[in-house]
Structure 1
Amino acid sequence: MALLRRRRVRLRPAPDRRQRQVITPEGVPLPFTIGARGARAAALIIDYVLIVAAMAGLTYLVASLANAVHIKADERNPVGQALVVFWIVIMFLFRHIWFLYFELGPRGATPGKRVVGLRVAARDGGRLTTEAVVARNFLRDIELTLPMIFISTTLAMGEDASFAGWAGTAWFLIFVLFPFCNRDALRAGDVVAGTWVVEAGRDRLKAALSTGAGAQGHSTLTQTRYEFGEAELSVYGEYELQVLERVLRDDNAEAMADVAQAICTKIGWTNGRGDERAFLEAYYTQLRARLERGMRFGRRKADKHS
């Protein structure tokens, strides 16, 4: 009887095609995971639902106030006409302000992105600038808003505008399908602004800092207590704090070693190998506390070049 020998096949985990790495201005390699296209679509839908709800609430409030003071929006009432114009302008700006306000914040994410665990980042590893956020969000009008208005207008006009309707649909599909035509899932606004949407790694940093001894400045490996003075903390600002936060969140040993070495070189310290996590947690916690104190008194440093 022939014996059948089974070969053991070692299965290697498939590489994550969404993994990327950029080099920060400090020369530190920083890993990222590109946000999934479905997650980005879900974030946009959540944001638009919240925007519509907020706009409806604001409209109801304005209408109630106008009714309370007996202001009517008709041709014979200039005050009412001015109120209508004011409302149209506010509604037009509200959608843009929503995205700009949240993406320029410290999290770099709108409420929709935060729900699905995404954030906006600069593709060159640098600081996310106001110009980039403005560009990527105003391009959304060309990508989505204008073709939707074009299509709805042509549908209202009936069969006489059938060609225009098809043209508007093609316009809409080109930009909607654009993220599927590149490996980084970039929309046209991302290409122009030099940004991408990446996974934010929710709650892992908070858990690590709440349980790690390094958050209190004490190393369990070397029994060293890391305490930094004003001179050591003043060399870095908000951008470096965000980079350090991403490094701690990703928990990549090689990246943490590179960042710890860069910080030690900058502040004139000598740190032992193998203790990078505790060192970085202590520096992150104390730098964040310093920046928060500074912002309370009106002092704000965006990065080391400011």
Structure 2
Amino acid sequence: MSEAGVQRGKRTAGRPPQDASREFVTPEGVDLRLRIGEAGERAAAFLVDVIILTIALIGVSIVMVGVLAASRARGVEVAAIVWLLIAFFLRTFYFMAFEMHPSAATPGKRMLGLRVIARGGGRLTADAVFARNAMRELEVFLPLSFLFSQGDGVDAWVVLLGLIWSGVFLFFPLFNRDRLRVGDLVAGTMVVKAPRRKLMPDLADERPPGAARVTFTQAQVDAYGVKELHVLEDVLRRRDKATMRAVAQRIQGKIGWEGEPVADGEFLAAYYAALRGRLESRMLFGHRRRDKFDRG
């Protein structure tokens, strides 16, 4: 079986340039295909989150009005400052709290099937979440404050500057292939599609009838490790006849198999079950063979 290295952001040959899918192949040979969240999807998710924040702020405003009415409108200035502080912390920590959750998605992102991940393929850290959301103040809320301050003694050129600023940050994701906003660029994150998928059936329970008559010696099963097991599982799930034929011939040559002729799918299914059983039994005793080169 061919060696699989880590490949990030590599396009499959023959795909159109506008294709938004990316391939992440782990050192164990697991091929993870992810689709980048489109700008329209991200904008819709942000709009949903803004609506939720607006409803929360309306609730806060109603409570503040009730407090002022009970105190006969005393301390209006203090109430206004408190409202501004609540609005700031609400819009700031709303995004951070949800994206630090294991789902790494706000309610808006969940509705659109999106989530935040680290571009390097590692764990999404609190520092990255803080950085990408802190930048939102500069990208969205600060220029918006310029725009809505028109008529309060703010010069027209300041409002124009706010419009230009908003436009630069608004259209920035359209000019890079991974649809990154500036916050993503700074934090090393990206937003991808995370659709709900059904749990795939266990291949060990779906062996073809003919696979039961194929047997292997312990030496033949010990030819490969965990990495090759994952690659073989992927081959069996794809069911591509040409690939299965090539992999079956490669394994048979590697282990020196001289059994009776059998279909490629049956051979691979039998070898998968034998290899998996052997690796699992070794792991019970603390031995984990990473790949065919690991002799530990």
Indicate whether the TM-score tops 0.5.
yes
Are residues 1:151 and 2:147 paired? yes
What is the TM-score normalised by the length of structure 2? 0.61
Note closer, same or farther for the CA distance 1:221–1:148 as it changes in structure 2 (3 Å cut): same
1:105 match: secondary structure:
coil
State whether structure 2 residue 125 is matched by structure 1 residue 132. Answer: no
With over 3 angstroms needed to count, the CA separation of the structure-2 counterparts of 1:273 and 1:135, relative to structure 1, is: farther
Cα–Cα, structure 1 residues 168 and 14, in superposed 2: closer, same or farther, change >3 Å? closer
After TM superposition, the score normalised by the length of structure 1 is: 0.59
> Once the 2 structures are TM-superposed, how far is the Cα of residue 125 of structure 1 from its aligned partner?
0.5
Are 2:75 and 1:85 aligned? no
- Aligned-partner residue type, residue 220 of structure 1: E
Within the candidate set 98, 101, 105, 2:97 is matched to 101
In 2, distance between residues paired with 1:254 and 1:193? 36
Q: How does 1:292-303 map to 2 (within 5 A)?
A: none
Residue type at the aligned position of 2:205: S
Aligned residue-pair number = 210
Indicate how the Cα distance of structure 1 residues 152 and 86 shifts in structure 2: closer, same or farther if over 3 A, else same. Answer: closer
Q: 1:73, 1:81 within 8 Å by CA — same for their partners in 2? A: no
| 1:176 to 2:170 alignment | yes
Matched, 1:118 2:99: no
Of the three residues 164, 169, 184, the one matched with 2:158 is 164
Separation in 2, partners of 1:254, 1:196: 29
Moved more, 104-113 or 85-94: 85-94
* Secondary structure of the structure 2 residue equivalent to 1:120: strand
What 5-or-longer segments of structure 1 have no aligned partner? 1-11, 224-246, 258-270, 280-306
1:189-222, Cα deviation, whole Å (9 max, x unpaired):
0000000000011x32xxx23xx554xx973339
> Among the aligned pairs, what percent are the same residue?
36
1:253 aligned residue: 234
The CA distance in 1 between the partners of 2:96 and 2:27, in whole Å, is: 24
Q: Are residue 186 (structure 1) and residue 186 (structure 2) matched?
A: no
- Are the aligned partners of 2:30 and 2:234 in contact in 1 as well (CA < 8 Å)? no
Asked whether 1:53 is paired with 2:55, we answer: yes
The answer to whether the 8 Å contact 1:25/1:126 transfers is no
CA distance in 1, matches of 2:236, 2:130: 31
CA 182–56 in structure 1, closer or farther in 2 if over 3 Å, else same = same
In the other structure, the counterpart of 1:221 is 207
How many Å apart are 1:273 and its aligned residue?
A: 5.6
> Counterpart in 1 of 2:40?
38
Give 1:16 shift. Answer: 6.3
1:73–1:65 CA distance, 2 compared to 1 (3 A): closer
Distance change >3 Å, CA 130–CA 255, structure 1 → 2:
farther
- What pairs with 1:13-32 in structure 2 (closer than 5 Å)? 14=16, 17-22=19-24, 29-32=31-34
Q: CA deviation at 1:26?
A: 6.7
**SS in structure 2 opposite 1:109?**
coil
C-alpha displacement of 1:131: 0.7
Q: How far did 1:83 drift?
A: 4.8
- SS of the equivalent of 2:50 reads helix
**Alpha carbons of 1:34 and 1:156: their partners in 2 closer, same or farther (altered >3 Å)?**
same
Quote the Cα distance in structure 2 between the aligned partners of 1:186 and 1:141: 16
Distance, in Å, in 2 between the alignment partners of 1:22 and 1:254 is 17
- The CA deviation at 1:161 is 1.7
Q: Is the 8 A contact 2:131 2:186 kept in 1?
A: yes
Cα 1:200–1:180, aligned 2, differ >3 Å: closer, same or farther? same
Quote the residue 2:71 is aligned against: 71
CA distance in 2, matches of 1:157, 1:50: 28
Which one-letter code corresponds to 2:185 in the other structure?
V
**Alpha carbons of 1:164 and 1:91: their partners in 2 closer, same or farther (altered >3 Å)?**
closer
The CA distance in 2 between the partners of 1:150 and 1:29, in whole Å, is 46
CA distance in 2 between counterparts of 1:152 and 1:129 reads 34
Greater Rg over alpha carbons, structure:
2
Structure 2 unmatched runs, 5+ = 1-13, 210-229, 239-268, 278-296
Instruction: Give the Cα–Cα distance (whole angstroms) in 2 for the partners of residues 48 and 111 of structure 1.
Output: 10
Contact kept, 8 Å, 1:104 with 1:130, in 2: the verdict is: yes
Q: Deviations over 1:17-45 (max 9, x none)?
A: 11112355877553211011100111111
Structure 1 163/132 Cα, relative in aligned 2: closer, same or farther at 3 Å? same
